[in-house]
């Protein structure tokens, strides 16, 4: 426990001055992040199916105390929701929505149209050829209408379209795009809005806080607005590194999206503490590299130096978010604790990453206390 953290907790009355251990200290923290940020923006986290099912009572407590919004890590994606034949399997999605209802937490739907985690068979015939545009429209209509209406009034935000801009800063040549062109985006938003007019609808993507892809996303969003498509917010995923993007780039992005009349959300925030020396800025989950021990330097824990850098990076981000709180609706972390982060397996399988606020044993890291007192 650092002196500052201890002093803050004692001064704020959160912990008795005699508190001997960090474990006890944590046990006696009475307010959480959602309280700290309640007048600024929602603070969210993503839940995997086990967490939503309540299999980790300690994590349930952490969520209740700290987070004012939840997102489903996988449960509402096509691949999780439907069998190869198209039958619906609602168990995990229902569980996620029930968790939000039970604990009265703002809940996000993620996502209605995405090129990934969806079977090719949605787009192709048995002979491997693309289905006709009318057939894809029919499938999209059934999918979006069924899903959005099932949870109408229970999911406040929807990530309607995910990652439609490619790493080459032009429209991604996804199956959706190849069959329907950009119209698949208009269609998804129009359908979602028709079914649940009170839901807040977002376009969500990674690296759109960086030069190049930002401009491509702004151009797309500008076209959507011009066509009267009901897009109300932008989700900057925020899967970022320790050394980039810069705070200046992120600030430029917040301002540019807000100027377009969109509410800004950080939807999948995490900070990769491992090196990204390979030549790929991408967060596309299809990208993979080979494991080597040198690429897994914090296998037995973070150094103090790296841990301090992580705290400083998060602190700088939250200072920026606070500065622009009038434009930002929500900041959601992509997960709660380091044992369950996707970054343990991306883009190299089996590494030990430390990107979140809670460690592998579900204890708060220094950064947690730094944010708590902001």
Nearer to ligand GLA, 123 or 206 (CB): 206
Nearest distance from residue 78's CB to ligand GLA, in Å?
A: 11
- The minimum distance between CB 227 and ligand GLA, in angstroms, equals 24
Q: Please, which residue, 67 or 342, has the CB nearer to ligand GLA? A: 342
**219 or 285: CB nearest ligand GLA:** 285
The active-site residue, picked from 163, 194, 294, 305, is 163
Tokens 């790296």, located at residue: 306
Residue (59 or 111) nearer to ligand GLA, CB: 111
Burial level of 144, CB count in 10 A (0-12/13-18/19+)?
A: buried
CB of 239 to ligand GLA, least distance (A): 6
Please name every residue paired with 289 in a beta bridge, in sequence order, or none if there are none: 348
β-bridge partners, 42: 330
What are the start-end ranges of the H helices in the chain? Answer: 3-11, 22-27, 33-36, 49-52, 57-66, 78-81, 91-102, 133-150, 175-180, 183-195, 213-226, 247-259, 304-323, 366-372
CB of 323 to ligand GLA, least distance (A): 25
Number of neighbours of residue 89 by Cβ within 10 angstroms: 11
> CA 40 from chain center: how many Å?
18
- Cis ω before 222 (30° cut-off from 0): no
Distances (CA, A) of 301 to 40, 65, 158, 306: 33, 26, 36, 10
* 142 annotated active-site: no
Nearer to ligand GLA by C-beta: 19 or 331? Answer: 331
| Inter-helix orientation angle 247-259/213-226, to 10° | 10
Q: 6 CB contacts (<8 Å, ≥6 apart)?
A: 15, 19, 25
Tell me the residue nearest to ligand GLA as measured from the CB: 342
**Which one, of 263, 168, 282, lies nearest residue 221 by Cα?**
263
The active-site residue out of 79, 182, 209, 268 is: 268
Output the smallest distance, CB 148 to ligand GLA, in A.
18
Residue 285 CA, distance from chain mean position: 14
Q: Beta partners for 241?
A: 272
Q: How far is the CB of 97 from ligand GLA (least distance, A)?
A: 17
Nearer to ligand GLA, 100 or 335 (CB): 335
Between 329 and 366, name the residue whose CB sits nearer to ligand GLA: 329
* Closest distance of CB 321 from ligand GLA, Å: 19
Signed CA dihedral, 296, 300, 302, 305: sign only:
negative
Looking at the DSSP bridge assignments, the partners of residue 177 are none
Residues engaged in binding ligand GLA (CB under 6 A)? 162, 206, 237, 268, 285, 342
Structure token digits, residue 109: 């739907």
Question: Is 104 annotated in the active site?
Answer: no
Hey, which residues are catalytic here?
163, 268
């Amino acid at each position: 426990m650092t002196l500052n953290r201890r002093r803050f907790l004692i001064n704020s009355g959160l912990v008795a001055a005699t508190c001997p251990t960090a474990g006890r200290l944590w046990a006696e923290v009475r307010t959480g992040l959602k309280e700290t940020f309640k007048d600024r923006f929602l603070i969210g986290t993503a839940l995997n199916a086990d967490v939503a099912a309540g299999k980790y009572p300690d994590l349930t407590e952490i969520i209740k105390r700290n987070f004012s919004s939840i997102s489903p890590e996988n449960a509402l994606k096509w691949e999780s929701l439907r069998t190869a034949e198209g039958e619906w399997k609602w168990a995990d999605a229902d569980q996620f929505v029930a968790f939000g209802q039970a604990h009265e937490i703002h809940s996000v739907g993620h996502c209605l149209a995405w090129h990934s985690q969806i079977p090719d068979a949605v787009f192709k015939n048995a002979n491997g050829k693309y289905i006709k545009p009318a057939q894809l429209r029919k499938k999209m209509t059934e999918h979006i209408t069924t899903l959005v209406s099932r949870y109408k009034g229970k999911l406040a935000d929807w990530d309607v379209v995910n990652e439609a801009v490619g790493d080459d800063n032009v429209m991604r040549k996804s199956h959706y795009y190849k069959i329907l062109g950009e119209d698949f985006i208009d269609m998804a938003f129009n359908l979602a809005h028709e079914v649940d007019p009170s839901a807040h609808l977002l376009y969500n993507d990674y690296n759109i806080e960086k030069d190049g892809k930002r401009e491509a996303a702004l151009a797309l969003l500008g076209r959507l607005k011009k066509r009267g498509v009901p897009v109300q917010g932008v989700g900057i995923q925020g899967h970022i590194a320790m050394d980039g993007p810069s705070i200046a780039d992120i600030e430029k992005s917040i301002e540019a999206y807000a100027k377009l009349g969109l509410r800004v959300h950080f939807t999948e925030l995490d900070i990769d503490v491992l090196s990204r020396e390979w030549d790929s800025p991408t967060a596309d989950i299809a990208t993979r590299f080979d494991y080597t021990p040198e690429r897994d330097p914090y296998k037995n824990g973070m150094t103090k130096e790296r841990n301090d850098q992580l705290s400083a990076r998060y602190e700088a981000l939250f200072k920026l978010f606070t500065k622009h709180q009038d434009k930002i609706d929500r900041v959601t972390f992509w997960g709660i604790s380091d044992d369950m982060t996707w970054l343990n397996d991306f883009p190299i399988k089996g590494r030990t990453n430390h990107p979140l606020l809670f460690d592998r044993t579900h204890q708060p890291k220094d950064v947690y206390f730094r944010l708590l007192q902001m």
